[in-house]
Amino acid sequence: MFFESKIFRIWLLTIFGAWLVLFGLYNNVQFLLEHWYYPATMVVGAFVAGSTPEGGGAVAFPVLSIFLNIDRVLARDFSMMIQSVGMTSASIFILTRRHTDIAVFKPLLWWGPIAFIGFVVGMQTLQDIKVYVIQALFLSLIASFTIVYLFSSHRGTHGTYRPQHIKDRFITSAVVFIGGMCSSLFGSGADILLYTILVTHFTMKEKIATEMSVMMMAMMSILGYAYRAFYEGALTQYQVQAWLCAAPVVLVMAPFGAHILKKINTEYMLRAVVVLNIAQLAYFNLKNPSLGKFYWSMGATLLLSLIFFWGMSELAKRKTKEVLNEPFHLPEDTGHIADWETEA
């Protein structure tokens, strides 16, 4: 049952009630009807967020920034604002689900602050990059990641994060720091990079890594949203109204995506996301084409694909080494060796 957790049901009803109050105070039906594309975009975006390693920003940012020509900063802020609801909802759903081992997610308690430091550094140093370069880098990141991962035959096998040396913890910290910097540009990215390092270097199961990436993006979205709202004081009434239009959609669709993730073959979802990402990359280059857009998007896609491919190759080598090092045991009942060999 989708709403099996009492805690999740209470969360859902409480937040929905709060949304009704806020909508009545700060928004109106006329604005909702005129800006219908915000909730429409997040029907797909929130489902993708809950069921894949990509946050809702992987849909929201390119749709708003590239398809609808909305200001890049507004698109980034909206991605964080809406993920702060959807990803948090999906996280609560995951954590309160029966048979969930909460201890698995404890590393997020130190990954989150490190990623947020990266976000702040990115806000201070990266914001003057040209808009089309930022768009190209983001589309290249999500497209190259999903393509390489889909066509790799190797998946993780461990159910927990298992660093062997202090170097492993340093590598993870560096990756989530860079992910935080990416989030300062796109409103997303920390989730994808965390997922990549977990399934490649640490050979974690993809569904567990996906759930960890969902929670990472929930933390980053809340902290990033708070930074923009309370430290910089940069959020406008328009952004709040746009957020209120889409909030109830992601409140349900993100945990629904997390629920579906447990029920379906992950490969089907990955194929759908690959098609979506390639279509976004193609549209970016076909709309007002320029050599700059083409060089940045294709160059970044090629470079990132090589990096992700190398990561998957490392995973394959690790798994092969693990298999070769496993001790070989004959069945205890040696009287049936012939039968066992036949079955094998």
pLDDT tens digits for the chain (344 residues)?
455 678 888 888 899 899 999 999 999 999 999 999 998 888 777 766 656 666 666 778 888 888 888 899 998 998 898 888 888 888 888 898 888 889 999 999 999 999 999 999 999 999 999 999 999 998 898 888 878 877 776 556 788 998 888 999 999 999 999 999 999 998 888 888 898 888 888 888 888 888 899 899 899 999 998 999 999 998 889 999 999 998 888 887 767 766 666 666 666 767 777 887 888 889 899 988 999 999 999 999 999 888 888 877 776 676 666 656 656 555 444 444 334 334 33
What token pair was written down for 207? 């569904």
Q: Which residue has the tokens 């201890």?
A: 103
Query: Is residue 321 packed enough to be buried (19+ CB in 10 Å), middle (13-18) or exposed (0-12)?
Result: exposed
Structural domain includes residue 338: no
Structural domain includes residue 331: no
Interhelix angle 206-226/108-125, nearest 10 degrees: 50
- Looking at residue 273, its pLDDT comes to 74
- Looking at residue 339, its pLDDT comes to 41
- Backbone dihedral angles phi then psi of residue 158, each to the nearest 5 degrees: -90, 145
- Helix/strand/coil percent split, the chain, to 5: 80, 0, 20
The SS3 call for residue 236 is: coil
- Looking at residue 323, its pLDDT comes to 58
Q: Which residue has the tokens 């809950």?
A: 50
- Are the C-beta atoms of 266 and 207 separated by less than 8 Å? yes
Structural domain includes residue 93: yes
Structural domain includes residue 337: no
- Looking at residue 2, its pLDDT comes to 54
- Are the C-beta atoms of 238 and 29 separated by less than 8 Å? no
Parent domain of 246: 6-322
Q: What is the DSSP string of 145-163?
A: HHHHHHH------BSS---
Structural domain includes residue 330: no
Structural domain includes residue 333: no
Q: What is the DSSP string of 183-235?
A: HHHHS--HHHHHHHHHHHTS-B-HHHHHHHHHHHHHHHHHHHHHIIIIIS---
Q: Rounded to an integer, what distance in angstroms lies between the CA atom of residue 177 and that of residue 161? A: 18
- Looking at residue 265, its pLDDT comes to 65
Structural domain includes residue 202: yes
Structural domain includes residue 109: yes
- Looking at residue 261, its pLDDT comes to 61
Provide the domain count of the chain. 1
